[in-house]
Structure 1
């Protein structure tokens, strides 16, 4: 499936190609009001939020490519993002904001989702994903991965969605 994503500076059109066998649509609802959706700034601008949105979308698309059957469609509405850690205004390095990870600054993502096969609703729900043990568990993602703590949380959630194909309205 081809999806037109956005017009880039200079008038170039970016085209994202998703897998022909699985379909996932990720929508970011009112991202300007997200709790914390920037990798390197305490106050996210549109460009900062776009980087996080792109990375989350790509990760969810990869999960769908591996796990969803060809006839199923997953729609995800992301309603809030709060990345792991936070920015402490007194803790900067050479004038740059630094994300500080503490055991109380766990990653959180609030979303609504619907899994369909054709017009048939297989499962749906609204969830608040939280990983309170993000600093205490083995993480196989590289230390340089900017979504290192959010990816395992999304992976676990996605595995649960794939397992709930039969139950409509789970939450």
Structure 2
């Protein structure tokens, strides 16, 4: 039994290390939509084609994490608060470019730091369809969300959320699209 203990420990550590690997938004098993419960459905195209990954300056750093899912989840939660009772909203995220860029060539280890500048604003392209309680289309279309003044909002700057600029841009769009009403569900 004493000889098996180190082997079992090594196998347990290897299994834990495999599960602890960093998820990438481009992983084949990564979701491409949120679960279909509730009045707001959000899905997205393959992040490998998103501007964030194609032109980031550091594709490997840009694809790390679960940020597409987090932005979609934020969009759903905030839309549910504003959507009138009985209405439904379906959103497809077609492209995302997060605020800032990785600027290679700035020195050792600097290519893994996201640099925020006015000319690197957050961007999201999406299509949506809004339905009334009877299932009739109320509104639909394409939207190109941009926040060119993202660095000027002092209240956002104090947040430690790495997606704060993108979430604020989504909130601004939802206020314009759905209004100020906060629904109680």
- State whether TM-score is above 0.5: yes
Indicate whether 1:99 and 2:121 are aligned. Answer: no
State the Cα distance separating 1:30 from its structure 2 match: 2.8
Report the aligned-residue RMSD: 3.0
Match of 2:52?
36
| C-alpha distance in 2 between matches for 1:141 and 1:46 | 21
Highest Rg: 1 or 2? 2
Indicate whether 1:27 and 2:33 are aligned. Answer: no
Indicate whether 1:72 and 2:82 are aligned. Answer: no
Alignment partner of 1:111: what SS? Answer: strand
Indicate whether 1:149 and 2:165 are aligned. Answer: yes
State the Cα distance separating 1:125 from its structure 2 match: 1.3
State the Cα distance separating 1:27 from its structure 2 match: 1.0
Alignment partner of 1:90: what SS? Answer: coil
Shift in CA distance, 37/23, structure 1 to aligned 2, threshold 3 Å? farther
1:56-85 Cα offsets, whole Å, 9 max, x none, are 122112212321133111111111000000
> Bigger CA drift: 125-134 or 96-105?
96-105
Match of 2:66?
51
Match of 1:158 among 169, 174, 177: 174
Task: Specify which structure has the higher proportion of strand.
Answer: 1
State the Cα distance separating 1:93 from its structure 2 match: 5.8
Alignment partner of 1:76: what SS? Answer: strand
| C-alpha distance in 1 between matches for 2:63 and 2:102 | 18
Indicate whether 1:119 and 2:104 are aligned. Answer: no
1:120-147 Cα offsets, whole Å, 9 max, x none, are 0111110110000001123347532011
1:98-129 Cα offsets, whole Å, 9 max, x none, are 10001110000011111112420111110110
| C-alpha distance in 1 between matches for 2:155 and 2:77 | 18
Instruction: Note the residue ranges of structure 2 that are not aligned, 5 or more in a row.
Output: 1-18, 20-30, 180-185
Question: Are the counterparts in 2 of residues 139 and 152 from structure 1 also a CA contact under 8 Å?
Answer: no
Alignment of 1:129-140 (within 5 A): 129-140=145-156
Alignment partner of 1:71: what SS? Answer: coil
Question: Are the counterparts in 2 of residues 29 and 79 from structure 1 also a CA contact under 8 Å?
Answer: yes
User: What is the aligned residue count?
Assistant: 146
Alignment partner of 2:70: what SS? Answer: helix
Task: Specify which structure has the higher proportion of helix.
Answer: 2
| C-alpha distance in 2 between matches for 1:46 and 1:87 | 8
